[in-house]
Amino acid sequence: MTGTALSPAIVADLYRAACLAELDALKVGNVHAYAGGHRMEVADFVTSAEVSAPHLARAGASVGARVRGGVEATISAVGQNTNLGILLLCAPIALASETAGRLQQRMSAVLSALDERDGADVFAAIRHANPGGLGTAQRHDVTEASTSVALGAAMAEAAPRDRIARAYVTGFEDVFSVGLPALDAARRLDLSTNWATTAIHLAFLTSIPDSHIARKYGAETAEKVRQEAAGALGGIDLRREPVDVLLAHDRVLKEAGLNPGTSADFTVATLFADTILTARGEAR
C-alpha cells in the first residue's frame, strides 16, 4: 500500500513519542528511566525531544536545516549534546514522510538530493554539538568551518567508520534490516512497548559495534563491547522482564565510561520509522 503524506504536527508528535518511548526502556549503557549516566539524566532528553521536535518536523525544511535547528535548540535548552545522532537519523525520515509514496523510496529520493547547503548545516550542527571522539579527517573535516561538500559525499566518506553516516549511503539499511525486524519479533512475543524497545536496542548492541564507543575508544573496544553484550545478553528472555540482569550489565558499561549512544540513536530511529509507516498506512 502506498503511504500517505503526513502533516508536520503528526510528524512532530511521532518524533516526540519515539524519543520518550526510548527513554522509558531499559537500554544497557545508556540513559533511561531506570538509571541516568554519563553526567546526563532522563529530564535532559525529555527537554531535548520537546525543543527539537518543531525543527525536526518543520514543513519543507531541508535535512540539514532540521538537524541544525534541532541541535541549536537542544544546546540552548540543556547545555549539552543529547540528540545529534537522533536528529541525523530522524531528519531524512521526517522529510520523506511529507510526500506520498513508499517511505523507503521517498527516503532514497531525499538522500540522493542532499546538497552542499545540507552539508554546511549538518557540519555546523556537529561543531555546535561537539560530540565525543570527533577527531579530525583528511577529507571533509567537519571541524573546518570553511569545508564545502554535499552532505551525501561527506557521509559516504565517513561511512566506513560511522554507522549513522553509513545509513545515509545504504538507505537506512540498519533500521529496516535490524531494528524493525527486532521490533516485529518482539511483538510476536507479545512484549510490552518498553520491553519491545529494549529488544530493539539489544539487537543493535549485540550485532553492530557501536560507533560512539568506537570514536572515543577505538574499533577494538567497540567490538569487545559488542561481543560481551552478545555473550551476556544475546539469548536473554525479555518475557521474564530481567531488570536485574540488564542493570548489572548497565553498571559495568557506565563504570567503564562506555556509552553505546549510536545503538540508542538507532533505537529511536526505528521507533520513529515504525510509527511513521503505521501513520502512512504502509504495510511491511
Residue 2 lies in a domain: no
> What are the 10-residue block averages of pLDDT along the chain, 284 residues in total?
91 98 96 75 93 97 98 96 96 98 97 97 92 48 63 95 97 98 98 98 98 95 98 96 97 95 98 98 85
Distance between CA atoms of 53 and 98, rounded to whole angstroms? 15
Q: Which three cell numbers stand for residue 93?
A: 525520515
Distance between CA atoms of 276 and 278, rounded to whole angstroms? 5
**Which residue matches cell numbers 528511566?**
33
**Residue 138 buriedness (CB in 10 A; 0-12 / 13-18 / 19+):** exposed
Residue 85 near residue 212 (C-beta atoms within 8 A):
yes
**pLDDT number for residue 41:** 83
**pLDDT number for residue 135:** 43
Residue 3 lies in a domain: no
Closest CA to 52 of 79, 26, 72: 72
Residue 190 lies in a domain: yes
Phi, psi (degrees; rounded to nearest 5) at 40: -135, 155
**pLDDT number for residue 225:** 98
Distance between CA atoms of 170 and 111, rounded to whole angstroms? 10
**pLDDT number for residue 146:** 46
Residue 175 lies in a domain: yes
Residue 170 lies in a domain: yes
**CA torsion through residues 55, 95, 8, 61, sign:** positive
Residue 42: partners with Cβ closer than 8 Å, 6 or more residues away:
23, 31, 32, 33, 36
Task: Determine the residue type at 176.
Answer: F
Q: Can you give the residue range of the structural domain that contains 12?
A: 8-279
Residue 203 near residue 180 (C-beta atoms within 8 A):
no
Residue 130: partners with Cβ closer than 8 Å, 6 or more residues away:
81
Q: Which three cell numbers stand for residue 68?
A: 541544525
Distance between CA atoms of 216 and 261, rounded to whole angstroms? 11
**pLDDT number for residue 127:** 92
Residue 37 zone, left/alpha/beta (φ > 0; ψ -120 to 50; rest): left
Residue 57 near residue 9 (C-beta atoms within 8 A):
yes
Q: Which residues pair with 32 in a beta bridge?
A: 35
Number of neighbours of residue 187 by Cβ within 10 angstroms:
13
**pLDDT number for residue 34:** 87
Q: What CATH code is carried by the domain that includes residue 143? A: 1.10.4200.10
With H, G, I as helix, E, B as strand and everything else as coil, classify residue 32.
strand
Q: What's the number of domains the chain is made of?
A: 1
**pLDDT number for residue 143:** 52
Residue 1 lies in a domain: no
Residue 142 lies in a domain: yes
Residue 284 lies in a domain: no
DSSP code of residue 139: S
